[in-house]
Amino acid sequence: MGVLGIIIQTEFGLPIHTEMFDPKLIKFEQMDTSLTSGFITALTMFAKEYDMELGHIKFRQDVSDIYGVNMIIQKKGIYLILCFVEPYVYHEVVKEKIEWIYERILQKYEKTVANGQMIQLKDSEKVYIGDILQDLYIKAILTANKDQLDSKLGKFFLKHVGLYGVSINSFDNSILYFSGIAEETFKLYLNNMGRRSSIIEDFEVIDSYISIPEYQAMRVYAVNPGVKFEIQDIMTNLPDKTVSLYYYLIADPALEIQPVINELMELLNPIFFEKRE
């Protein structure tokens, strides 16, 4: 998971669409939409008074919830679009996804909304929003190959003692597939990488030494394996562009990692290239 939900409203607080993809945020769907819209509108107007704009807001369940959930706030045209994301997700890429949603769906409704009329998004448009934010196109490829992935990576872990986790992440850093250590532990290490930039060049490896109280010290490696998808494979009527997938490895700092990374790319890359042949 990476993008957890979305709220679309006008800059003056008229609710358009609310959808949460994660059960822990379901209350945002159940609560009065006018309350949420009014709160966000008040915050943005407050920031505007001081010639500033909101970037993101962090929500936490309690004081023990160190990382919480980030709410990205993006103004597009007459809309305020709010995306709830895990802290390790790349904000600038989520904002790019918001741009696609605006251009593909919301822009054409601007005159209607500006005239004070309510709009109802079509079911196909709601599906499109969910597809883009959750990377369902790429998830479908992984789901179709899950048994193969599980089997190959199970043997891979047995071969490489000291390797504890592997994930395949979207270009916004959402976790699409993981194997090895528990998902919440995986997220904990990603949250402590300290990276907020999505720029990893083809075949580049970025690593971080991470020491967390009560957890074993690890090295976390982010790898761009050279696997790319054309945007038009995922969306239509948008400029040509390619997006990358990332592989993450969580390993004992003493493990010689480059041969492991090379073998992992040989293992996983064909799954994606074969899909497009």
For the stretch 87-123, pLDDT in tens is: 999 998 999 899 999 998 999 999 998 888 889 999 9
The pLDDT-based confidence of 277 (bands split at 50, 70, 90) is very low
The percent of residues above 90 in pLDDT, for the chain, comes to 48
Find, among 32, 21, 27, 81, the residue nearest to 59 by Cα.
27
pLDDT for 69 equals: 86
CATH fold for domain 139-275 = Beta-Lactamase (3.30.450)
Find, among 26, 224, 229, 2, the residue nearest to 94 by Cα.
2
Which DSSP category does 104 fall into? I
Q: Where in the chain is the domain with CATH 3.30.450.30?
A: 3-134, 139-275
pTM: 0.85
pLDDT for 220 equals: 95
- CATH 1.10.8.10 assigned to domain 3-134? The reply is no
Beta strand ranges found along 35-172 (DSSP E):
56-59, 69-76, 79-85, 163-169
The percent of residues above 70 in pLDDT, for the chain, comes to 84
Distance CA 206, CA 27 (A): 37
Distance CA 248, CA 167 (A): 5
Find, among 93, 69, 89, the residue nearest to 193 by Cα.
89
